[in-house]
Amino acid sequence: MRDDLAGGGRRTSGFRFTPRTALAALLAFFALYLLAGWTYNRFFKSDETKIRETIAEAAQAARERHPARVTNTLAEDFRGPGGLDRETAYRVFSMGLMNLYRVVAVEITPATVPVEVSAVDPTKATARFRMVLRGRATDDSPWEDLNPRAGGTEFRCTFRKIDGEWKFSTVEVGSGER
């Protein structure tokens, strides 16, 4: 007679761990991770946070001396100081980030940029912040202030939500005084 409580017999289950099942589990985990990230970004992350991320993305692209990524944060009909448009902004960023300065430092204050999404049109928003820009022509050269006003330059920006992404629509440069 067989004793089922004793551990003497080999038991088989329907599941076998193979490289194929490991790969399938890994792919399922990755898909779940992407779905969770998309859900969080779509339904839980505020528009204010997304705008702050757009500002931080532009600053990081400048630090990395990548003019195309800076320009990607601008709307197609972008307008800046002195009638600056998106194409001219790209040329200015290219000249400054690629030709004049080998190292670029960008500081934005306050740490949490105040953002106001329009109550009338939820696809428009404004933000005000200060930015200090510094550059070095070589790794060993001294820092040059690119906006030498005390405390940096104040920027007043408007944003538009275009295809689910927030982009700079206009940028006005303040006096540097607050």
- List Cβ neighbours of 98 (8 Å cut-off, separation of 6 or more): 65, 67
Structure tokens at 107: 């500081």
Counting every residue written for the chain, the total comes to 178
Q: What is the pLDDT of residues 66-117, one digit of tens each?
A: 999 999 999 999 999 888 999 999 998 888 887 888 888 999 999 899 999 9
Q: What is the pTM of this model?
A: 0.73
Q: Report pLDDT for 176.
A: 46
Closest CA to 67 of 91, 88, 102: 91
Structure tokens at 18: 């193979």
Closest CA to 125 of 80, 165, 88: 165
Q: Is the peptide bond before 110 cis (omega within 30 degrees of 0)?
A: yes
pLDDT at residue 178 is higher than 50? no
pLDDT average, residue stretch 136-153: 81
pLDDT at residue 175 is higher than 70? no
Q: What is the pLDDT of residues 20-65, one digit of tens each?
A: 888 888 888 888 888 887 777 777 788 999 999 999 999 999 999 8
Phi, psi torsion values for 3, nearest 5 degrees: -100, 105
Q: Report pLDDT for 165.
A: 92
Closest CA to 116 of 45, 46, 175: 46
Neighbours of 35 (CB within 10 A): 10
pLDDT at residue 123 is higher than 50? yes
Phi, psi torsion values for 145, nearest 5 degrees: -80, 125
Q: Which residues lie across from 168 on neighbouring strands?
A: 74, 159
**Higher pLDDT, residue 37 or 129:** 129
Q: What is the mean pLDDT of the chain?
A: 85
Residue 150: which pLDDT band, with cuts at 50, 70 and 90? low
